[in-house]
Amino acid sequence: MRAVLVHSLFSDFDISLFVSGKHFRLYEKFGAQLIHVEGVAGTYFAVWAPNAQAVHVIGDFNQWNRSAHALNKRLDSSGIWEGFIPGIGKGELYKFLVKGFDGLEVEKGDPYAKRWEHPPKTASIVWDNDYKWKDKAWLNKRPKLNALNKPMSVYEVHLGSWQRDPSEPDRVLTYMEIANSLVPYVLDMGFTHVEFMPLMEYPYFPSWGYQITGYFAASSRHGTPQELMYLINELHRNNIAVIMDWVPSHFPGDSNGLYHFDGTHLYEHSDMRKGFHPDWKSYIFNYDRNEVRSFLISNALYWLDKFHIDGLRVDAVASMLYFDFSRKTEDAAKNEYGGSENLGAIQFLKDLNIAVYGNYEGVHTIAEESSTYPLVTHPVHNGGLGFGMKWMMGWMNDTLKYFKNDPINRRYHHYQLTFSITYAFTENFMLPFSHDEVVHGKSSMIYKMPGDEWQKFANLRVLYAYMFTQPGTKLLFMGNEFAQTHEWDFKSSLDWHLLEHAPHIGMQKTVRAINKLYVSEPALFEHSFSAEGFEWINADDARHSIYIYIRKGKKAKDTLIVILNLTPVYRENYRVGLPFRAKWKEIFNTDAKEFFGSGKLNNKLILPEKVGCHNRDYSVVLNVPPLAVTILKQGV
């Protein structure tokens, strides 16, 4: 039997950083590390379990003997158990057998394991992060291409249901298979970014990955960590950035996971008013604990470091910020000042963003934050939380409510679409139509739209064109681009067969053309978060449900005029005030026949007239197609 040798990868400085909440490379120390000690190959194990009475390593290598390999507890106050076992190599299965403070022995997965068994199996696997990356060119230009003044059109993907093998519909595709089809598809469609729903190991498939047990392990459902690296590498080689959903808000109560790790509430609050989420039946991290903050921030940097992730979309931030999130006030905890804000979580988010932006160029953090908490995307040194962007949930809700109205009634809800501009520049907003909008009885995007088949598709084309011509970055969930008819089902593939039908082909062509327009017109992205990039021409034509606005770039020649007609009435000879005197041409029209529209275009150069309109000296007359978006740019 191979003995556990006394050995440590932790210096005194490492320990001081860890216990103060400032060690952000813990993945280089904890878990299972393949090393050599005095020329002997083996694995060094380390785990944080300060209240445990004993910790053993069990696995195939010792026939899961519960007493064979006892780890040594450090003599300091760090609570770390560690030891080196010679001869254990890559691929070995293992768990930590933890005799907790309560005297019970529980088999725990390694919180820092780089790989886990395929669920429902729960063992950790000794593994490494070795990979020969070929994306140096991307990383070098990432600070420029992934900047806030560049286009960001995000395609949100659930790996288990984007596509399946028709001959084996119950099998999810591997990372390699996904790379072979997803990369060319995203490139063809013109999206600049892919956002993956959580990629870490999770036990319950219907949780979509949001109930994580293996924070440092790529989900084994799709293959090895290196195969995920290959997928990311291929996206980067095609200049497509990768965002990953990250869940530092809660974790499940699985016995092999983080919950009650050493017989005490170690990672979660012991006060269940702070430590339990009633909606998700999961446990909330104890952000007041320094070691927990070190764990989470190390995890964020791990994905940026070892997997070359370009951004983290941080899930459920509002639930972290407030003790009374989804709770009655009388059932919620209070902070030391009597308020509902979770001060530990607020400090954690600030520390997270300082660490991310301080260590990696050209990356972003994006908050899924639905409350009115101020300054989410403002720098920490100015009193903000320090995120790069925030989902604009108010815009999304108001927009979908408006579009659900029958066009004949939209005149009575006209200002539901204009309201968002009053606060659009208070944060760096991302406009999302995410997976959350097409599940749980909310219906697919196409069936949120009113009218007959033609009107539904026309409305959806308008909705997407409106989204892409508004300030802010963009996110579209998979299937929305070709008008998936069913609600999203995580258990099966998207309905790709719909692309045999003209309306769906037209929708896909529309999104492809919108993406091409978006990335080629500076007016649509150079001032995404600044009022200098947007101006109303007419926000008050409620009678006709027409909206007209200007998008501006740094140069006047890039100026665009956007006209929305949100009724099925064709408006001929409609007069539009001009931002300045120039000849104009139509560069985009969602009513084009190739998009399954009616083909009512403005094909000729549109000449200015010295006729006052919309409080402007010059104007043009054009034909405004039904349920369509028309975009004008200076002609030659």
User: pLDDT for 111-155, tens place per residue?
Assistant: 999 999 999 999 999 999 999 999 999 999 999 999 999 999 999
pLDDT, position 329: 85
Q: Which positions are catalytic?
A: 315, 368
Exposure letters 514-546 (e unless 16+ CB within 10 A, then b): bbebbbebbbbbbbbbeeebbeebbbebeebbb
Measure the CA–CA gap between 72 and 83, rounded to whole angstroms: 6
Which residue is it, tokens 């979660």? 268
Measure the CA–CA gap between 31 and 41, rounded to whole angstroms: 16
3-state secondary structure of 400: helix
Q: Would 47 be classed as within a structural domain?
A: yes
Instruction: Taking residues 368-391, report their average pLDDT.
Output: 96
Instruction: Confirm if 151 and 523 have CB atoms less than 8 A apart.
Output: no
Q: Please determine, for residue 2, whether its predicted confidence score (pLDDT) is greater than 80.
A: no
Output the pTM of the full model: 0.96
Kindly state whether residues 215 and 280 are assigned to the same domain.
Answer: yes
Kindly state whether residues 543 and 413 are assigned to the same domain.
Answer: no
Percent of the chain with pLDDT over 90: 96
Measure the CA–CA gap between 589 and 587, rounded to whole angstroms: 7
Q: Please determine, for residue 1, whether its predicted confidence score (pLDDT) is greater than 70.
A: no
CATH code, 581: 2.60.40.1180
User: Is the Cα dihedral 223, 229, 234, 238 positive or negative?
Assistant: positive
Q: How many domains in the chain?
A: 3
Measure the CA–CA gap between 448 and 400, rounded to whole angstroms: 8
Q: Please determine, for residue 379, whether its predicted confidence score (pLDDT) is greater than 70.
A: yes
Kindly state whether residues 157 and 62 are assigned to the same domain.
Answer: no
Percent of the chain with pLDDT over 70: 99
Kindly state whether residues 508 and 553 are assigned to the same domain.
Answer: no
pLDDT, position 4: 80
Kindly state whether residues 319 and 385 are assigned to the same domain.
Answer: yes
Instruction: Taking residues 603-621, report their average pLDDT.
Output: 94
Q: Which is more confidently placed, 531 or 329?
A: 531
Q: Would 142 be classed as within a structural domain?
A: no
Kindly state whether residues 315 and 288 are assigned to the same domain.
Answer: yes
Kindly state whether residues 604 and 583 are assigned to the same domain.
Answer: yes
Residues 6+ apart with CB under 8 A from 483: 444, 445, 446, 457, 460, 498, 503, 504, 507
Instruction: Taking residues 560-566, report their average pLDDT.
Output: 98
Task: Record the tokens describing residue 589, joined without a space.
Answer: 């029209």
Q: Would 310 be classed as within a structural domain?
A: yes
User: pLDDT for 209-221, tens place per residue?
Assistant: 999 999 999 999 9
Residues 6+ apart with CB under 8 A from 197: 156, 157, 158, 159, 208, 209, 210, 245, 435
For residue 6, name the pLDDT band (cuts at 50, 70, 90). Answer: confident
- 105 phi, psi to nearest 5 deg: -100, 125
Which of 84, 107, 125 lies at the terminal end of a domain, its last residue? 125
Kindly state whether residues 275 and 168 are assigned to the same domain.
Answer: yes
Q: Please determine, for residue 636, whether its predicted confidence score (pLDDT) is greater than 70.
A: no
Q: Would 121 be classed as within a structural domain?
A: yes
Q: Would 4 be classed as within a structural domain?
A: no
Domain that holds residue 623: 531-634
Instruction: Confirm if 55 and 99 have CB atoms less than 8 A apart.
Output: yes
Q: Would 132 be classed as within a structural domain?
A: no
Kindly state whether residues 543 and 520 are assigned to the same domain.
Answer: no
